[in-house]
């Protein structure tokens, strides 16, 4: 999972599993033209964008430090029900799969129907009564003693769990993620640059496919190896695309619908020679860094101003 949200101070909060951040880190270095995992560019795959892509190294720096424990952790429920994993020390006879639990359904339905029709007690109040009081109560509405015994045994049965904590010592109802915060303007700049580069991902993938593990080795890889690399890289680029989509979507919390649609139209437009990130100079890089560090995006006007400046 990789998520980007906006906090109460309108900072971008990047949240992901460590493995996902690793994938992003590697690809940020690749997009910036750095030789990693045996890929040494003889020709940069994004002509005219190498200067702009160098700005992504600052983002890679934040990811590396987050993955080294220099930022934050975040925990969230993972959807596993709290009653699914037995606490440590639970007797083994209480570890029972749901399909193996046999409940006296007919007796349960009969007794509960009698309680509802013959009395006006709230079912929750009945369950809170002691077992002795429940027995006296049921006797008062002439429940068969055998049915009463079966029903009370059902009500007061030991808890059953599908899984034991001892069998899955690392299992939990929570997942833990790495989290770090960046100014929204800075994060948006990274996403806009990546958005331009990802529109050229086919040539990036072909460039990676042509590479070999050693720069001086020119032998063709076996076909399945090339296909495997291509599929792996294409899959991992989804992390980058998800990052961009989440950053853009997070703006919807700040701006009105018309402004968001106007912005989204720009991000979806095909690349052109007039891209603000193509063929930058060192002065352009400094200008973008200054804009990202000083801009505050708290409204639709702030977003328009930011886009005009870059």
- Please tell me whether residue 260 adopts helix, strand or coil conformation: helix
* Stronger pLDDT, 42 or 200, i.e. the higher one: 200
Label the pairing between strands 174-183 and 72-77. antiparallel
The owner of tokens 């690793």 is 22
- Please tell me whether residue 128 adopts helix, strand or coil conformation: helix
At 40 the pLDDT is 53
**pLDDT digits over 201-225, tens only?**
887 777 766 654 444 444 555 666 6
Answer whether 71's CB lies under 8 Å from 180's CB.
Answer: yes
Q: How far apart are CA 22 and CA 236, in angstroms?
A: 10
At 307 the pLDDT is 92
Domain ranges in the chain are: 2-78+173-208+240-309, 85-164
Q: How many CB atoms lie within 10 A of CB 279?
A: 13
Whether the CA torsion 29, 41, 51, 237 is positive or negative: it is negative
- Please tell me whether residue 178 adopts helix, strand or coil conformation: strand
Q: Say if pTM beats, i.e. exceeds, 0.85.
A: no
Mean per-residue pLDDT, 57-77: 93
- Please tell me whether residue 304 adopts helix, strand or coil conformation: helix
At 212 the pLDDT is 45
Q: How far apart are CA 77 and CA 42, in angstroms?
A: 46
> How confident is the prediction for the chain on average, in pLDDT?
85
Say which DSSP state 171 is in: -
Buried/exposed 226-257: b ≥16 CB within 10 Å, e otherwise: eeebeeebeebbebbebbbebbbebbeebbee
Q: At what angle do helices 184-198 and 282-294 cross, to 10 degrees?
A: 140
**pLDDT digits over 119-177, tens only?**
888 878 888 889 888 888 888 888 888 888 888 888 888 888 889 999 999 999 999 99
- Please tell me whether residue 179 adopts helix, strand or coil conformation: strand
Mean per-residue pLDDT, 91-119: 83
């Amino acid at each position: 999972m990789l998520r980007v949200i906006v906090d109460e101070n309108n900072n971008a909060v990047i949240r992901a599993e460590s493995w996902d951040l690793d994938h992003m880190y590697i690809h940020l270095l690749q997009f910036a033209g750095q030789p990693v995992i045996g890929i040494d560019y003889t020709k940069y795959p994004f002509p005219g964008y190498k200067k702009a892509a160098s700005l992504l190294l600052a983002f890679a720096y934040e990811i590396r430090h987050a993955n080294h424990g220099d930022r934050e952790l975040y925990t969230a429920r993972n959807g596993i029900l709290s009653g699914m994993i037995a606490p440590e020390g639970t007797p083994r006879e209480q570890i029972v799969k749901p399909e193996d639990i046999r409940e006296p359904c007919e007796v349960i339905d009969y007794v509960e129907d009698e309680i509802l029709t013959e009395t006006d007690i709230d079912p929750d109040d009945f369950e809170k009564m002691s077992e002795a009081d429940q027995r006296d109560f049921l006797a008062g509405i002439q429940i068969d003693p055998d049915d009463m015994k079966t029903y009370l045994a059902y009500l007061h049965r030991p808890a059953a769990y599908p899984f034991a904590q001892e069998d899955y010592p690392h299992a939990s109802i929570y997942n833990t993620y790495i989290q770090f915060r960046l100014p929204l303007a800075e994060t948006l700049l990274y996403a806009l640059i990546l958005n331009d580069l990802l529109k050229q991902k086919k040539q990036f993938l072909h460039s990676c496919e042509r590479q070999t593990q050693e720069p001086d080795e020119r032998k063709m890889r076996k076909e399945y190896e090339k296909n495997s690399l291509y599929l792996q890289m294409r899959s991992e680029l989804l992390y980058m695309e998800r990052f961009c989509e989440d950053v853009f979507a997070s703006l919807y919390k700040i701006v009105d619908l018309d402004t968001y649609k106007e912005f989204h139209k720009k991000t979806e437009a095909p690349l052109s020679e007039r891209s603000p990130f193509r063929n930058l100079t060192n002065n352009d890089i400094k200008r973008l860094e200054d804009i990202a560090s000083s801009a505050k995006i708290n409204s639709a006007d702030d977003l328009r101003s930011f886009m005009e400046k870059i």
